[in-house]
Amino acid sequence: MNRRSLGLYSLCLLLAAGVGRPVAAAEAPGLEGNWKLVLLTFNEFPFGVMSISGTATDLKGEFRSAQRQFGQPKISEVKLDGDKLRVEFLTGGRNNVFTGAVSKEGDKPILGTLRL
């Protein structure tokens, strides 16, 4: 297993709030808008930017951009259960799952883990 693979398997993911995120606390508690995904391995590595829209019970997402080596990821599921966010997406034919905790204060990063 090379250093890059080991880093990707043991990484954490940080969703940092994007610019111009609309307030939608009643519908999807602070989730609606653009989010920058950052992998925290040895340094911060930007994975890409995704957009989340919809209500808390019917969230949808799509990648606006991603690093070239990940291709064009496709989001298959965005789910909010209490304060737990789950995002499933495909990259290179593999299913990846991000799970994180959403802050009740809003406008805070969502820290979590990514299973590749």
- pTM score, whole prediction: 0.74
Tell me what pLDDT residue 29 has: 61
Give Cα 116 to chain centroid, integer Å: 13
Assigned token pair, 41: 């391995």
pLDDT in tens, 85-98: 999 999 988 999 99
Mean pLDDT throughout 17-24? Answer: 38
Q: For residues 115 and 87, give the distance between their C-alpha atoms in angstroms, rounded to a whole number.
A: 11
pLDDT in tens, 37-78: 998 887 888 999 999 999 888 999 999 999 998 889 999 999
Neighbours of 27 (CB within 10 A): 17
